[in-house]
Structures are given as C-alpha cells and as structure tokens.
Structure 1
Amino acid sequence: MDMQITRTAGAVARLRSALGATQSDVAKKAGVDQSRLSRMEKGEVVAPDEIRRALGALSALGSEEAGGFLRFMEREWRFIEPPSYWNPERASVEIAEETLEKIEAFLGDEEQPWPLRRQLERRKGDLLRASSFLTRLKHNVAFIGDIGVGKSTAISFIFDLLVPAKAEDRNINRPVLETGAGGTTICEVHIKSGPEFGLSVTAMDAADLTDLVADFCAAKWAMAHRKEGDQAETPQVSREVERAIRNMSRLVRKRTMVDGKPHYTDPIHEVIADCQAEDEFRARVLGAMKLDERTTTEIWYESGTRKHPSEWMRETFRAVNNGRMSDVPMPRSIGLIVPDFGKSFGEFEITVVDTKGVEDVAVREDLDHRLKDPRTAVVLCCRFESAPDTTSQALLQHMKQTFSERFDTGKIAILSLPRSGEALEVNSDTGERVLNEEEGHALKGEEVTNKLNSQDLSDVPVFFFNVESDTAAQVRADLFGQLSRMRETVSERLFDLCDAATEIIENHEKHAVTAAIEEVARRLNTFLRGNGKLGARERHAYEEVLSTVHGVRYASTLWAATRRNGEYYGLNIVHQIGVGAARDARLRSRDWFAKIEGHVNELKADEDLVLAKHSVDQIGAVAEASRRNFLDGAQRIAMEIYREPLTQDPVWNDCASEWGRGPGFKNRIEEHLRTWFGDTRPDLKETLDKRLNALWDRSVIAPLMQLTQEHEPGDTSDSEDENVLAFPSTASA
C-alpha cells in the first residue's frame, strides 16, 4: 500500500496546481517544510506519511480530488495492476477488482456447484484481459493514405507540429513534417512525447539497404545502356529512395544556369562510364555512402542553435529524411520527440504514426499490423473529391473480408482533406451550390456513407479537415472520440462480465440456475456434435497473389518484388498468401458462424433458460473470439507453410529475367506464379488445408466444447454421457 503512494508522489503537484494553491499554503497546512514539499512533488521524497499529510492538507484546502486520490491509493489491489487515478476507465477497473475479489471468495468454497465455479473461472480470465487493456493508457493513431494525399500536412496542423508563423510567408508552408506532391517521406514516422525536442532513427537493415541500392543501380545502369529505339520497360525506384541514395553517396545532380535556364549534370553518368559492370557500379555507390560511419541514431535540440525548436526539428527531420546527414544511417523509421505531445488527448499517452504512403498495393504487411493492433486507431486519409478513394475502400474491404472487423468500435475512420473552395463546389439536390463549407461537408459525408453502405461497409465515421481554414480542435476531438470509443467497447464488455459474475454469485443457491446452465451446456454439446466440421475450401490462398499481381499499378513494384524473392515491402507475396488463406477461412466458416449465432438466439428466446442468460452470452462471446483467432491463425499458418518453399525457389530467377522483354511483364509473372502454385508445388495447398482443419478444431471447436464440460474435474463417471464431448485430436496441427 505504501509503495502505491510513493509511486505517485508527483500527483501532489498536479492536485495542488489544479486547486491553485501555492507550495507555501500546502506546506503550512500539512505541517511540513516548503522545501520538503518541493522535493516531494519532484519525487525525491518518498515518505508515505508525509505524502498522506500533503494530500490531507490539499483536501482541507478544498480539493475534492485529493481526498478521493488518498482513498484510491490506500486501496489494496490483489488482481489487477493499479490504474492511474486519472484513467478515464478507473471506475470500470475498480468494479472489475471488486468482482474478482468476489469470484476468488466463491471459488475458495469447494462446496459450491461445479457448473457455477466453471462459469466464474472463465469470467475471471476475461475480466483480467479486459482490465489489462483499460489499465494501460498508451495508444497509437495511425494515418494511412495514398502518396501526395496531404497526410503529413494534415498531421502537422492537427497536432500543432508547425514552425512559427513569422518564419513562413504562407501558413501552408509551416509543417515540421516534410510535405510535397508525393514521394517525400522515406519511411514511417512516429511522433510521441518526450523530455525534450529530438529525433530518433531506427536504421534500415543492411540487407534491405543493399537491396534498395541494387535497385537504384540496376535502374540507372539499364537507362545508361538503353539502345535507341528500345521499347523495353525501364525500371525505376521511388523518388524518396533515389533522393536519399544520391545524398548519402554524394552523387547529387548539379545545377548550372545556361542562357538563363537551369541545366543539370548528373555525376552518376560519369561513375557508370568508369565501370565495367553493374556490380562494380553498385560497389562504388555503396562505398561512397560510407555506411560504417553512419552510427548516430539520436539527435537532440540544443538551445545554443538559437533556432526555435520546431524550426530546428523541421530542418533536422528533412536532413535525415533526405539522407543529408553524413553520420545518420538510412532510416527504417524516424521518431519525432516533442515535449507534452498529445496533451490535448488528456491522460492518454499518444503516438501518432505517419505511415509510408500507398503508391500501389494497399494491402501491405506494415499496414496490416496497424489495422490489427487493438490499441491503434486508424485514420484513412483521402482527398475530398475522391472520398472514399480506392485505397480506403480496399483496406475497409480487407478488414471485413480477412478478419471480420466491425467499424463501430472506434477502430477506423475516414478523414477527408478538402482544399480551399472544394467544399463550396458541392451541389445540393436542387443543383444549386451549397451555402457554406459545413453544408458541403454534410452532403459529401452523406455521399461517402451511402457509397460505403452499398458495399456493406456501414458504420465508418467520416470527418473533414481543411488545413487552410479549419481549426484543429474539432478534428482532434473527433480522433479523441475514436480512442474513447475503442476503450468504451472494452469497458462495456467488462461491465457485462461483472454483471454476469455477480448474478451467478448472488443466485448460487438457486438450483434452477445450475440446472439452466447445465441445460445450455447440453444443448451446445448437441449442436457441436452435429456441426463440428469446417466447410470445404472455397478458393485457393494463392488466388489472392495472382489477383494482386494482376492488379499491380506500376511494373516497377513487381520488378522490385521479383528481385527479392517475392518479399518486398511494397508487394510481399508471402503476406498476400496469408491474406488469401484468411479470406478463404472466412468464406468456409461463414455459414458455421451463422449457425452458431442462430443457436445462441434460440437459447436466448427460450424462457426456460432465462436464468442462464449470461451462460448463453458467453457462448456468443467465445464464438466471436474464436472467429478472430481462427482467421488470424489461418493467415499465420499459410505464411509459415509457403514462406520457405516460395522464397527459396528458382521461380524468382525466371520471373526476374522477364524484365526487359517488352510489354506484358505483369502477365508473364502471373503465369510463372500460377504454374508454380498449381503444378510445381500442389502439395502445399493440401498441407494448408490439413493445417486449417486442425486449427479449426483447436481454435474454434475446443473453446466452445469447454463450455459443455460442467462436471467436476476428475469426475469421469459420466464420460459416456451426451453432455460430455471429447476434444478432437490436434496431432495434425
């Protein structure tokens, strides 16, 4: 208990500041020296008695929170890690702790009926998981969108990452993050709070960097040796990658003025002319980058620079992002550290993630991690006129088809980014222009919602933000609301669990409760006996690969993937296999989950089972959790099965050799892969099918079967009874 108080001694300063009292006032009331109180607020003094006296003084001076805080800290937490006093869901967590105490006491009585004890044991684990989620206050807000959509500009204005207005003649030029027409940011950027202004760099893996340089050199070598009239496609690397490699190797194009016009000379031409082969050229570029000297991964602001911190951060970020700092490596991610960042989000510790812009394939592995992370709210950014754009729709469909995500939980939102005057150009139903931007936003919002609803993508919130005219407060409030909704969804589930556990405990003496629970278990057992099998395969996992390859927008994306044995961040073939497997798993299990939902509804409608309502709800909750586990497991298993055989096969040499043979590159790659999946390694699809069936038994049927076993542990006298269903073998898993 004393340790809980000492860990939060800094709360004294917060409570005093909220009250508006001076240290002298509090010290005098508490009967301690003012210097002692100052050290206490800094966390240097950890005497529990003095902290209690300071809190008592604050309470006496009129702070209602101080008394509540003292009572909170005196509380003993046995099951859950104590939350922050200012945690928005503290009351929910406190109720969960109280419920867990009741459950522990009930389970300690071995005379209680086993069906009820099993019910409470299950709810105990669920309560602990939900409480753990709510206790933590760290969350991410990830912005996803096409390159050039205005994502980085919007982030800068929303979160006040701007240089002083006097430093720029136009407001739109104030962002700290580097902005442009696309192809600007080289990697993912994480913005978070810290003690001072600074940048942190996570270096790109050596192998990945070598691959990028190899792509760059191959493209330049091919261009330099292209013959006149050659119609073959020319490989390219992204603008941001080329810019960084040129700066790091000091092979930047030089500009001179000739007759008043800019003229550029490219030193790369000289290097290529001096090399006998492409590999020699590549070695020269890598050598010029002096990678061994690039060891600096943290850069901190120094007041001696006499620059405003945000101006320093903008200059430093752009230098790192463009490879212009001689001692900094090529970044895999860049962290911007800003004091008090995210303070408008209250108690939450927020990290804003500016993801690398979507240039071609939207369903990327790095974006998948953000979409699946339960602690991340995702903001899909798109232009006003194209909302919801192709990328937003593709990712929403991916969430629905691959892991059956709901859209009303705060997880996802669309942020439309209108430019000046665009909202005023919207026509009303009468054909007349809208009167103001608010009306334009409202009509556009209806259009977006209707389009999503027509694709069975309902409940996606739509927000608007014009960086040139709107204040950021409203959109910040909208995003804060998304995070709050995410937590409310878990909190609602927590309350349901607490109510269920409390009802069982309070009604434990009613034999009818036990009988109803056993009847629910018997009926579920009967259902599982007749409906235990996974449906037949509906589509091969590799069909997702073929359709993705067929739909690739830029041949250079596919070219880069063939040079990396299919594992390129912009197009990861192994990841696409996993997506295909998850989508097939969803299709082949769709009818089964519809049946279990119908079964649950039948149980709820049976008046004889009213006393077992929470047991019925538990079936639905377990089924929903099992669905997620099954789909996620299907994706992982497919990637595991295919990764080594696919990435180590010579098929990629055949694919890479197709480059430069004229039009139809994508079609030829698609045919190579179709042959490999269907003819060369047909065994893999059978292995996947076998593993998916084992996964089904393990992740879906087994958890539900546990709900049918209400007999006493070790009691096998009724093992042949129809209320006991043996677990299926998972040896094949």
Structure 2
Amino acid sequence: MADLRRVTVRAKTPSEKPTTVDHLKNLIDKVGDIDTVIGEVMSRMKLESRTESQMILSQDTEGSMEWLSTNISKINYGQHPRFSVPQRITVLLPLEALRDTPYLISVIDTKGVEGTTQRPDLMAQIEDPRTVTVLCCSFADAPGGVPLSIVRETIDAGSDAVSADRLCLLVLPRNDEALKIVNDGGDVPSDREEGYAIREGQIDQQFATDGLPGIPVNFFQVGADEPEDIWRWLTSRIEAIRTAKVERIKRHVAAADNLVTNADVAKTRQARHTIADTMAKAAERFRKLRPMVRPAHLNLIAEAKKTHQNSIAASVNRKGSWDNFPVAHILGQGVRIDANLRTRDTFVRIDEAIEGLKDDFAHLSDVAQFLENLKDDVEEARKEFLTRVALAGRNLYSPYLSQAVDMWDKCEARYGAGSGYRVDVSAIFQAQFEGDPNAMTATEKVEAQVGSIWEQIVIDPLLEAAAFEDEE
C-alpha cells in the first residue's frame, strides 16, 4: 500500500545477475529513526483516500470477469488506491456477469485460515441453512488439514452442515499434478480424470481413517478444466438444499390437507392424547441435563496447542480479542461441544419415541404428518439450543477474560523464551480455569445459563407442541 515493495531488477547484460531492491530497507537506512520511518510509511499509504468498501460493475462494462479479477487482485495486494483493509468488501455484479443460474446468489470469500479454524465468521457461514460452504485445498495434500479440522469441529459442535450436504470440498490441482499421482498398484493415470478419481478415493479413505463422514468432492484446474462444469456442480449443491426445504414444506401442506379432509376425529383425539402423554413423560425425564462432560476450557487448551504461536501471541496482547485466535469464541464453542455431548443421546431417545408413535399411528395420515413435523421441530430446537449455548458461553466468559490480567501477563512473559510456547501457554490456561475462583464462578454462570436455555428451547416447546386439549 505504501509502494515500498522488494523489486527485482533485470540484468542489463548477459554477464550480470538480476538484483533485488528493497525500498523499505533503503528508507530505513536513509532515515535511521524508526518512528520517522513509520510516519513516512503511513503517509505513503494515503489512508485518507482509501475509504471504499464496495465496488459496482456496470452492466455496460465489457470483460466482466477480467474486470473482477483485476480489481480483486489489486485489493488483495494493497494496490487499489480506493481500498485499505476493511472487514468486508462488497462487489455488486449484474446477473449477466455470472454464469447461468436460476438463483439470486451471493459469493462470500472468507480470509484464509492462518490461526485457529474456530472463528466466528467461518461458523456463521457453516451454520447458515442457506449457504453452501466450499472448503478448498491443493491437490498435493488433499483433503488438507484445515478442511479436516473444520469438518471435525462442525460435527463435534452438533451442526447439521455435513448431514445436510452444506459442506463440500473443492480440490485445486496445478500443472500436471493429477498425472503424477500413483495408485495403490504403483501405476500413474492415463489422463486427469483418472488422476482425480485416484485422489478422490484417497480423500475418502482419509476421512474414514479420521472417523469422519465423507463430503462431496470435486476438482478444478484453472486453464485445463471447464469452468461451466464446476459451476453446475456448485449450483447443484444449492439445489440439494432447496429440495430438502421444499420437501418439508410439502409435508406441512399435506398435514394441513389431511387434517381438513381425512381426519377421523375420535381416533385423532385418542392418538393426540397418547402423543401428549408420551412427550410429557419424555420431557420430564430429560428436563435435568446430564453433568458436564467436557469443560469449555479444554477446547481452548486443544486449540492453543495447534494454533500458530504468533496468532496466540497477538491474541494475548489483546486479552483474547484477535480474529485468528478469538478466545471468547473458542470458549463458547467449548460450551457448545460439551452441550452436544451431554444431549446427543437425549435427542436420539426423543427421536426414537416419536418414531415409535409414528409406527403406532401410521394408519392415521394426519397424525403421522403431525409427528413428522414434530420431529422436524425437535431438530430445529436442537440446533437453536446449541447455537444459543455457544453465544451464552462467549458472552459470559468475555467479562472474565478482560479482567484476567495475571493470566495474560504470564502468557506474554512466556513469549520469546524458547521452544514449547504453545504447550506452556496451554498449561497457563488450564491452571487458570481450574484454579482461579473467578474463572470457576464464570463457569458456574455459564452452566446455569445452559440449563435455562435447555428448558426454554427444548423442554417447554416440546410440551407445548405435543399438548392437546379436548374440545367440548
């Protein structure tokens, strides 16, 4: 942004070698004073004119994709004079600029994963029921550590993104990588498609080895594969989400029709009494949550052990408030993971109870439809419960983190003192959350809130949804 890049100068004669000019180093050598250099760099960045956060492509502009590629590249490298580094840049395109699609869509390009994969911006997209999340990786290390971590954390958090097919993997080969891969017999493929098939089999095996369910996979090599093919595949993922929603709407419509046209009042009343009684007993049986299984701070410890030390240090300097290692969010995710572990079997038993009622009353189509809708409602309550407890954990731990000065001081003092930084910081976190009375108080508040949310979001609505009163 300040135009102080390292520049390679080509040789003028065959006997000379190319040289590199480091303009920032030259400026430091010339000025000498670091504060003055910082002031000069800030001045050259011209931040007062870099205030834009939105671009609009005119419908009359020719070469829309080239325009988009050029401008985004300039923004990414700080070379666009109107853009600094905003949290989000919006690019508005006319529909004609995109390839054919029946949908009005938005494409969100998140920043790369340089620290923990447990980031609020990533989770918000993964949890959005209208979003297809495309995880990308190179061909050589597919499926890649980051996609595996995201899939694992998504499942641990109880999200339905994988089961609902909202997560997929796009592998990006380069050059002739797909032709150099070797199969189990030691043979190389005859073409790219065969190479893709070999790699996809290896990806599936890696997911299975890690105990994870597979997700849809596709490959795209720029300049070699047809963009139309991958575009159709991506839009088919959107169609799959829409199809599931349409099916649910159809069930609701059918239930309403059956209630009006096919209801046997006497049999329906008897069935609803049985359903209400069964659900009431289930609600009372499961009203009290199981004890804590995995304390939230264990998630923080696990993330600290695998996140780059610079991201941890940057977060420590900001008392946990750093995008690449957001401590409050990680603790909130820890609360969610624990809540999922504690309630997973409970939801299975509620589902089994509903399935048993469906078998008993399969001959009553209106009741069967009601039970199917009740099953959907319970699933929605499960997702809402997990989302709410994560938010509660994040909000209730945040005040404590801002006041845990001693913990942050210890972490800051450890930085730069040799190897083992991440392990030692993890130990500091563990000692703090397991020995500090204020940390224990914060955990008790979180636990009380989790119990309250469980009753509000799951138990009480379950009773209300199944309740039935006789009409005189």
- With the shorter chain as reference, the TM-score category is 0.7 to 0.9
**Mapped contact 1:253–1:267 kept (Cα < 8 A):** no
Query: Which letter maps to 1:674?
Result: Q
> Residues 312-362 of structure 1: CA distance to partner in whole angstroms, max 9, x if unpaired?
554443333333344543332333344335643422112222221223322
Contact 1:401 1:583 in 2 (8 A): yes
Instruction: Provide Cα deviations, 1:596-622, integer angstroms capped at 9, x if missing partner.
Output: 122122222325874522232233222
1:292 maps to a residue whose letter is: E
Give distance in 1, aligned partners of 2:63 and 2:347.
58
| 2:113 paired with 1:358 | yes
Which range moves more in the overlay, 485-494 or 703-712? 703-712
SS at match of 1:330: coil
Is the aligned partner of 1:471 residue 2:226? yes
- The residue type equivalent to 1:697 in the other structure is E
Shift of the 467–593 alpha-carbon distance from structure 1 to 2, 3 Å rule, reads: same
1:269 equivalent in structure 2: 28
Residue 234 of structure 2 aligns to a residue in which SS?
A: helix
Partner of 1:701: 459
Counterpart of 1:701, as a letter, is I
Point out where structure 2 has 5 or more consecutive residues left out of the alignment. none
1:175-190 maps to which residues of 2 (within 5 A)? none
> TM-score w.r.t. structure 1 length?
0.58
Alignment deviations for residues 194-243 of structure 1 (CA, whole Å, 9 cap, x no partner)? xxxxxxxxxxxxxxxxxxxxxxxxxxxxxxxxxxxxxxxxxxxxxxxxxx
Q: CA distance change for structure 1 residues 625 and 326 in 2, over 3 Å: closer, same or farther?
A: closer
Q: Secondary structure at the match of 1:336?
A: strand
Cα distance change on mapping 1:434 and 1:511 into 2, 3 Å: same
> What's the counterpart of residue 634 of structure 1?
389
One-letter amino acid of the structure 1 residue matched with residue 423 of structure 2: N
Shift of 1:385: 3.2
- The AA in structure 2 aligned to 1:331 is P
Match of 2:431? Answer: 675
Q: Is the 8 A contact 2:58 2:93 kept in 1?
A: no
Contact 2:286 2:346 in 1 (8 A): yes
1:133 match: none
SS at match of 1:376: coil
Q: Does 1:666 align with 2:402?
A: no
**Cα distance in 2, alignment partners of residues 429 and 663 from structure 1:** 39
Give the one of 349, 372, 391 matched to 2:146: 391
Task: Choose from 692, 698, 701 the match for 2:450.
Answer: 692
What is the correspondence of 1:141-540 to structure 2 with a 5 Å cutoff?
247-248=1-2, 250-253=3-6, 260-265=17-22, 266-267=25-26, 269-270=28-29, 273-275=32-34, 285-297=41-53, 311=66, 313-340=68-95, 343-428=98-183, 430-540=185-295
Q: Secondary structure at the match of 2:174?
A: coil
Do the aligned partners of residues 480 and 559 (structure 1) sit closer, same or farther apart at CA in structure 2, a change above 3 Å counting? same
Task: Considering fraction of residues, name the structure with more helix.
Answer: 2
Mapped to 2, the partners of 1:495 and 1:442 lie a distance apart of 37
- TM-superposition CA deviations, 1:437-473 (whole Å, max 9, x none): 3233223223322332444533511112122321112
**Quick one: structure 1 residues 657 and 256, their matched pair in 2 at CA, closer, same or farther if it must change by over 3 Å?**
farther
RMSD (Å) for aligned C-alpha atoms = 3.0
User: Is 1:579 matched with 2:333?
Assistant: yes
Where 1:638 maps in the other structure, the secondary structure is: helix
Are the structure 2 counterparts of residues 312 and 505 from structure 1 closer, same or farther at C-alpha, using a change threshold of 3 Å? closer
Deviations 1:557-613 (A, max 9, x none): 112111222111111111101111110000011121121122122222325874522
Change in 2 beyond 3 A, CA 1:339/1:271 = farther
SS of the equivalent of 1:403 reads: coil
Out of 424-433 and 640-649, give the one that drifted further: 424-433
Q: How far apart are residue 398 of structure 1 and its match? A: 1.4
**C-alpha distance in 1, partners of 2:323/2:259?**
51
Distance 2:189 2:59 in 1: 50
Partner Cα separation in structure 1 for residue 31 and residue 460 of structure 2: 63
The answer (yes or no) to whether the contact 2:381–2:458 under 8 Å persists in 1 is: yes
- SS of 2:292's equivalent in the other structure is coil
* Cα offsets for 1:142-189 (capped at 9, x unmatched): xxxxxxxxxxxxxxxxxxxxxxxxxxxxxxxxxxxxxxxxxxxxxxxx
**Cα deviations across residues 217-271 of structure 1 (Å, max 9, x unaligned)?**
xxxxxxxxxxxxxxxxxxxxxxxxxxxxxx33x5445666896441434145248
Q: Deviations over 1:67-90 (max 9, x none)?
A: xxxxxxxxxxxxxxxxxxxxxxxx
2:166·2:237 contact (CA, 8 Å) conserved in 1? yes
Question: Which residue identity does 1:318 align to in structure 2?
Answer: S
Query: Residue by residue, what CA displacement relative to the aligned partner does 1:504-548 show, whole Å, maximum 9, x if unpaired?
Result: 111345311121122111121122223322111001111111110
Q: Deviations over 1:64-113 (max 9, x none)?
A: xxxxxxxxxxxxxxxxxxxxxxxxxxxxxxxxxxxxxxxxxxxxxxxxxx
**Structure 1 counterpart SS, 2:132:** strand
Q: Distance in 1 between matches of 2:420 and 2:116?
A: 19
Structure 2 Cα separation of the partners of residues 559 and 420 of structure 1: 37
Question: Structure 1 pair 540/342, CA: closer, same or farther in 2 (3 Å)?
Answer: farther
**1:535–1:589 contact (8 Å) kept in structure 2:** yes
Residues 59 and 94, structure 2, Cα contact 8 Å, conserved in 1: no
2: CA distance between counterparts of 1:333 and 1:405?
Answer: 27
SS at match of 2:105: strand
Letter of the structure 2 residue corresponding to residue 687 of structure 1: K
Give TM-score, length-normalised by structure 2.
0.88
Residues matched between the structures, number: 462
User: 1:482 Cα shift?
Assistant: 0.1
SS in 2 for 1:490: helix
Letter in 2 for 1:375: R
Deviation by residue 1:644-701 (Cα, 9 ceiling, x = unmatched) = 2203431324322332323232233223322322222211111111111111111110
CA deviation string 1:118-153 (max 9, x = no partner): xxxxxxxxxxxxxxxxxxxxxxxxxxxxxxxxxxxx
Separation of aligned partners in 2, 1:423 and 1:328: 38
2:305·2:423 contact (CA, 8 Å) conserved in 1? Answer: yes
Partner AA of 1:658 in structure 2: R
Unaligned runs of 5+ in 1: 1-246, 716-733
Q: Is the 8 A contact 2:53 2:86 kept in 1?
A: no
